[in-house]
A = this chain, B = another copy of it.
Amino acid sequence: MAVPRSMRRTSPVTILLAALLSFGFLFFLLSPSSSTSLSFHSRHEDAAENPLSPPTKPFFKKQQIRRNGQKAPPPVVHYRLNNLTATANPAENGERVLILTPLARFYQEYWDNLVRLTYPHELISLGFIIPKNKEGNAATSALQAAIAKTQSGPIDNRFASVTILRQDFDPPILSQDEKERHKIENQKIRRESMSRARNSLLFTTLGPATSWVLWLDADIIETPHTLIEDLASHNRAVIVPNCYQRYYNTDTKKMDTRPYDYNSWRDSDTALEMAAKMGPDEILLEGYAEMPTYRALMAYMADKESNPDPRKIVPLDGVGGTALMVKAEVHRDGAMFPPFPFYHMVETEGFAKMARRLGYSLFGLPNYFVYHYNE
Hey, which bits of chain A sit against chain B, CB under 8 A? 1, 3-4, 7-8, 11-24, 26-27, 30, 50-52, 55-56, 59-61, 65, 71, 73-82, 84, 132, 144, 163, 165-166, 168, 195-196, 199-200, 202-204, 206-209, 328-329, 331-334, 336-340, 356-360
Q: How far is the CB of A149 from chain B (nearest CB, A)?
A: 14
If A59-B56, A81-B16, A334-B195 touch, whether A11 touches B200 (CB-CB below 8 Å) is no
Cβ–Cβ < 8 Å partners of A195 in chain B: 334
Q: How many copies does the complex hold?
A: 2
If A196-B334, A203-B332, A332-B204 touch, whether A356 touches B1 (CB-CB below 8 Å) is yes
**Bound CA span A329–B23, Å:** 26
Check if B204 sits within 8 Å of A206, measured CB to CB.
yes
**Bound CA span A26–B29, Å:** 10
Determine which of B14, B208, B328, B356 lies in contact with A332 in the assembled complex, contact meaning CB atoms within 8 Å: B14
Q: How far is the CB of A202 from chain B (nearest CB, A)?
A: 7
- Among A50, A73, A163, A331, the one with the most B-chain Cβ atoms within 10 Å of its Cβ is A73
Check if A79 sits within 8 Å of B17, measured CB to CB.
yes
In the complex formed, the residue of B with least CB distance to A21 is B76
Cβ–Cβ < 8 Å partners of A165 in chain B: 81, 208
In the complex formed, the residue of B with least CB distance to A165 is B208
Told that A18-B81, A200-B333, A203-B203 touch, could you supply 11 new A-B pairs with CB distance under 8 A? Answer: A1-B356, A3-B359, A11-B333, A12-B329, A13-B333, A14-B82, A14-B329, A18-B209, A22-B77, A27-B71, A51-B73
Check if A50 sits within 8 Å of B73, measured CB to CB.
yes
- Among A77, A338, A340, the one with the most B-chain Cβ atoms within 10 Å of its Cβ is A77
Cβ–Cβ < 8 Å partners of A12 in chain B: 329
- Among A1, A14, A56, A73, the one with the most B-chain Cβ atoms within 10 Å of its Cβ is A14
Determine which of B4, B30, B331 lies in contact with A203 in the assembled complex, contact meaning CB atoms within 8 Å: B331
If A82-B14, A204-B332 touch, whether A76 touches B199 (CB-CB below 8 Å) is no
